[in-house]
Amino acid sequence: MVSLRVNGKSLSAKGASTILESARKAGIDIPTLCYHPALPPGGACRICLVEEESTGRLLTACNTRVEGGMSILTDTQRISTARQRMLELIFARHPVDCTICEAANTCRLRLYAARYGVSGGELPRRGELLPITDANSLIHRDYSKCIGCGICVRACGEVQGAAAVEFIGSGPRYRPAATFDHPLDASECELCGLCVSLCPVGALMEKPSIHHGLETRRVDTVCPYCGCGCDLELRVAGERIIGARAEAPAAWNGVSLCAKGRYGLGFVNHPDRLGKPLERTAEGWQERSWDWALEAIAERLRRILDESGPSAVGILASAKSTNEENYLMQKFARAALGTNNVDHCARL
């Protein structure tokens, strides 16, 4: 442990920690764009500049390790001016079309622009707009908005382990791309959407969520797909699921989901969902009330049980139902119907 001072406040921090980590732990906020706690620091955006009091050096807080006796200032006029300049430089490449940008109030660049009083038009615009890369149905890439933070590249290599994206080009054309700039779905990309979920601006967007607005609530639950059991934070607007993230701090899956967990939830609100019990009749499907349908089913079950005994009925429980429901289903089979004819698709 080392002792240091941040804005005059004495802190003790682990020797291996960075200025950013120890400051945030103490509740002192330092703005960041290219930093994410799940990734190794990038030191690319320089918004996290802080000042070392004794030397006057400006240090990037995200990748500078704490040293004993350090005294760090995070909020001086000099730092504010430096951050303003950095933001102005970013905006020289970043279109100021916030009114039509899907990132809207989730955009961290916009947040800091407001905080540091940057309008985006301070410096003349450099470079041209790049075409939107929009070939697949899941991920929308608008690299004109890319600020070169490298979060997507690091997330893909360090967390997803796919290393499908890297930086290509130089100068104003410097941007992330799949190898040989192939379309994502023709590359090593697994369309897991991790990069999209971590992008601090509107350069990467989840297509299925576009134009669904902001969520009204978030619900922490479990993914309905494979058996991994990823923690899923549903983004819900009204009664619609408009997206999903992995953000529960204690969950084993950290910030990760896969293509299915992230983009495969549209079935919940699909118009094909059944909303009424149905009976197949000679005239086709007839809607029934629950009471009517259950009584008709019970009636037939009673008759079959009377005539042929419990071995003539069976239950297929479900690997998609809850534990509690499966428990009740097998209890129903065994205690109410009197048969062990209960199974599910464990073998498929």
Partner 1 sequence: MTNSIADIEKADVILVTGSNTTENHPVLAQSIKRAVLHGGTQLILVDPRKVPLARYASLHLRPKLGTDVAWLNAMARVVLRESLQDTKFVAKRTEGVDELAAFLERYEPEAMERITGIPAGVLTQAARLYARANRASIFYAMGITQHQQGTDNVRAVANLAMLCGHLGKPGTGVNPLRGQNNVQGACDMGALPAFLPGYQRVDSAEVRAKFSGAWGRDISAARGLTIGEMIEAAGAGKLRALLVFGENPVVTEPDSDGTARALDALEMLVVQDLFLTETAQMAHFVLPGRSFAEKDGTFTSTERRVQKLRRAVEAPGEAWADGESVCRLSALLGYPMIYEPAEAMREIAELTPSYAGIDHARLEKGGIQWPCPQAGHPGTPILHTDGFTRGKGAFACVEYKPPAEKTGKRYPLLLTTGRTRYAYHAGSMTVRTALAAMQRQGCLEMNPADAELLALADGDLVRVESQRGALTTRLCLSARSPQGVVFMSFHFPEERVNRLISPAFDPQSGIPEYKVTAVKVALAGGEASA
- The interface with partner 1 within residues 146-185 (CB under 8 A) comprises 157-163, 185
Least distance to partner 1, CB of residue 297, Å: 6
Comparing CB distances to partner 1, the nearer of 90 and 223 is 223
Stretch that binds partner 1, among 58-66, 77-85, 144-152, 233-241 (CB under 8 A): 233-241
Backbone angles phi, psi at 11, to 5 degrees: -130, 155
Least distance to partner 1, CB of residue 283, Å: 14
DSSP notation for 195-262 = HHHH-SSSSEEEGGGTTS---SEEEEEE-SSSTT--EEEEEEETTEEEEEE---TT-TTTT---HHHH
Q: Of 8, 77, 99, 347, which one interacts with partner 1 (CB under 8 A)?
A: 347
Q: Which residue has the tokens 């707009």?
A: 129
- Three-state secondary structure call for residue 128: coil
Note whether 143 and 174 are within 8 A (CB): no
By CB under 8 A, what part of segment 302-321 binds partner 1? 302, 304, 308, 310-321
Q: Which two tokens stand for residue 267?
A: 């079935």
**Contact track, partner 1, 106-145, x by CB under 8 A:** ------------------------------xxx-------
16 binds partner 1 (CB under 8 A): no
98 binds partner 1 (CB under 8 A): no
Burial class (CB in 10 A: 0-12, 13-18, 19+), 47: buried
By CB under 8 A, what part of segment 74-93 binds partner 1? none
Least distance to partner 1, CB of residue 218, Å: 9
Interacting residues of 274 by C-beta distance below 8 A, sequence separation 6+: none
- Three-state secondary structure call for residue 287: strand
Least distance to partner 1, CB of residue 255, Å: 10
Please report how many Cα atoms fall inside a 13 Å half-sphere around the Cα of residue 323, on the Cβ side.
Answer: 0
38 binds partner 1 (CB under 8 A): no
Q: Of 29, 97, 134, 295, which one interacts with partner 1 (CB under 8 A)?
A: 295
**Contact track, partner 1, 246-285, x by CB under 8 A:** ----xxxx--xxxxxx-xxxxxxxx-xxxxxxxxx----x
